[in-house]
Amino acid sequence: MRIAFVSLGCDKNLVDSEVMLGLLQKSGFALISDESQAEVIVVNTCCFIQDAKEESIENILEMAQYKKTGNCKALIVTGCMAERYKDEILAEIPEVDGVVGTTGYESIVEVVEEILKGKKIQKFSDINTTIREDYQRVLSTAGYFAYLKIAEGCDNKCTYCIIPQLRGKYRSRSIESLISEAKTLVSQGVRELILVAQDTTRYGIDLYGEKRLPQLLRELCKIEELKWIRLLYCYPEEITDELIDVIAEEEKVCSYLDMPIQHANTAILKRMGRRSTKEELIHLINKLRNRIPDVCLRTTLIVGFPGETDEEYEDLVQFVTDMKFDRLGVFTYSKEEGTAAAKLKGQIPKKIKELRKDKIMKLQQAICEEKSAQFVGKTLEVIIDGKLLEENEYCGRTYRDAPEIDGMVFVHTDEELLSGDFIKASITSANEYDLVGRIVDESGE
**Taken in order 296, 228, 154, 15, is the CA torsion positive or negative?**
positive
Torsion of the alpha carbons at 234, 237, 242 and 245, rounded to the nearest 10: 60
Cα distance between residue 382 and residue 408, in whole Å: 9
What's the residue count for the chain? 445
Residues 174 and 207 sit within 8 Å (Cβ to Cβ): yes
Alpha-carbon distance of 192 to 323, in angstroms, equals: 28
- Angle, to 10 degrees, between the axis of helix 241-249 and the axis of helix 213-220? 10
State the Cα–Cα distance between residues 444 and 438, nearest whole angstrom.
11
Q: For residue 187, what are the CA distances in angstroms to 184, 402, 418, 420?
A: 5, 22, 17, 14
What residues pair up with 393 in beta bridges, in sequence order? Answer: 412
Residue 158 assigned ligand-binding role: yes
Q: Which of 32, 34, 115 is nearest to 78 (CA)?
A: 115
Closest CA to 200 of 116, 259, 286, 158: 259
154 is in an annotated binding site: yes
Amino acid symbol at 203: Y
- Annotated binding residue at 395? no
Residues making up the annotated binding site for [4Fe-4S] cluster are: 10, 46, 80, 154, 158, 161
Residues making up the annotated binding site are: 10, 46, 80, 154, 158, 161
